[in-house]
Amino acid sequence: MQGKWSLVLSLIPIVVLIVLLWFDVQIFGEDSSYGANQIALLTAGAVAAGIAMASKISWEKLYNGIEESISSAMGAILILLLIGCLAGTWLISGVIPAMISYGLDVLNPSIFLFATCIVASIVSLATGSSWGTIGTVGVALLAIGKALGIEDGWIAGAIISGAYFGDKMSPLSDTTNLAPAVAGTDLITHIRHMIWTTGPSIGISLIVFLLVGMFSDYGQSAISVGDMQAVIHEKFNIGLHLFIVPVAVIVMIARKVPAIPALFVGTLLGGLFAIIFQPQIIESIGGSGNIFRASYSAVMQAMALDVNIDTGNQVVDKLLSTGGMYGMMNTVWLILCALTFGGILQAAGMLERITQVILRGVNSVASLIAATAGTCVLFNVLAADQYLAIVVPGKMYRKAFNDKQLAPENLSRVLEDSGTVTSVLIPWNTCGVAQSGVLGIATLAYAPYCIFNIISPFMTILFGIMGWRMKKLPPKIGSDGAIED
């Protein structure tokens, strides 16, 4: 029956998922992605499997679909685990504290929103986590902005715009790794292709934030950035030499070193720099006594488990914490469950049926791009989960992009431009719920000011309409040397 499903049957598992996710968000709020959403995904997958098996599709076929779906993202999962390790060693080595300290130097009342967006971008680009950036640097920036008398919505909008730009362009980000894995391209090609749409989007956003700041009159800050920096400098030995570590990773990636070995080298460099330049941190985490034992213990804890640097300042303490590899396990769990759900729908032919209906109105590259972008936003609204907004549309439209002779990086770019960044704008989406809770500002109160997040899907549709930077697949050469259609 594969490929001959009725639309109603094909939609039943998705409707079940949407209902369960809605209940999860209502009951568990921002904690819904810490277990409840995973069970909802598996339950909806079980419903899809039940319908398929009742229609004489074997479990072996469905299971093979699950295996294929998960294997396509295995590289992204390994990278996620390494990201946790890297974040830990970069914290204890002083790399992340140095980024925060030097980033705070650029803050100035007249360019606060502009600088805030840049600071959030830098931290998120370096760490690969929009949530981590908003929950740490974002909280500090929000407090400073409030003291300057800036409207909460604008502050949150600048923080979120920068955080999601950095997350979107960082090779350390989970979604930046997931999108190319689903679309069928590699990480570096994906990031390079995103520059064409993401660059103009963040450029326009920065101009808006700069103009708003220039034409506003603020008082003096009641919060001393210098005090925050002093706490960081008291705890860490801060210097420009620490930037050797992230620069080394960036250089490796720029020279096309695969992401996994590049991240592993960056992790080891972070551990080495911690031992050399932050002996007081090593002693605090690993214990005093044998230096070799303490160094090994501290670095391993930073790579594998959560690390919290106690400075006596609650704001700074929030900045100086990380979850290591363990902190990535919930994200990996969520991805595995989402890929299981998508794999069953794909193997059963349900996604193909839904795609057929949507693609009836697609007769050009422009309409295909618009349909894909719209579907990503729709899944963020209906399914309330950022990963589903990437995985499911990615699987739905992958063949359509191939049929249009469009390279897979075009699809991965649209998934990020529309799926990743719009999740935080939806009040019941896990991203919207989380950031609203962290910042203490209602989602609809900050959403109109998230300039980058709003512009991005429209930018990707514009590029599709105009045919700008739409990379084509290379022509297929037959055995006789002729180009095949």
Q: Would the pLDDT of 25 be above 90?
A: no
pLDDT band at 222 (very low <50, low <70, confident <90, very high): very low
Three-class secondary structure of residue 255 per DSSP: coil
Alpha-carbon span 329 to 331, nearest angstrom:
5
Q: What is the DSSP string of 384-451?
A: --TTHHHHHHHHHHHHHHHHTTB-HHHHHHHIIIIIIHHGGG-TTSHHHHHHHHHHTS-HHHHGGG-H
Q: What is the pLDDT of residue 212?
A: 93
Percent with pLDDT over 70 in the chain: 89
The residue among 308 and 118 whose pLDDT is bigger is: 118
| Average pLDDT rounded to a whole number, residues 290-315 | 83
Q: Would the pLDDT of 368 be above 80?
A: yes
Q: Would the pLDDT of 93 be above 50?
A: yes
Percent with pLDDT over 90 in the chain: 24
| Average pLDDT rounded to a whole number, residues 272-278 | 90
pLDDT band at 2 (very low <50, low <70, confident <90, very high): very low
Of 73-77, 223-227, 412-416, the least confident: 223-227
Q: What is the pLDDT of residue 408?
A: 93
pTM: 0.67
Highest mean pLDDT among 87-96, 213-222, 473-482: 87-96
Phi and psi, residue 429, nearest 5° = -70, 145
Residue (of 449, 420, 423, 467) closest to 183 by Cα position: 420
Q: What is the pLDDT of residue 117?
A: 94
pLDDT band at 156 (very low <50, low <70, confident <90, very high): very high
Q: What is the pLDDT of residue 203?
A: 96
Mean pLDDT of the chain: 83
Q: What is the pLDDT of residue 478?
A: 52
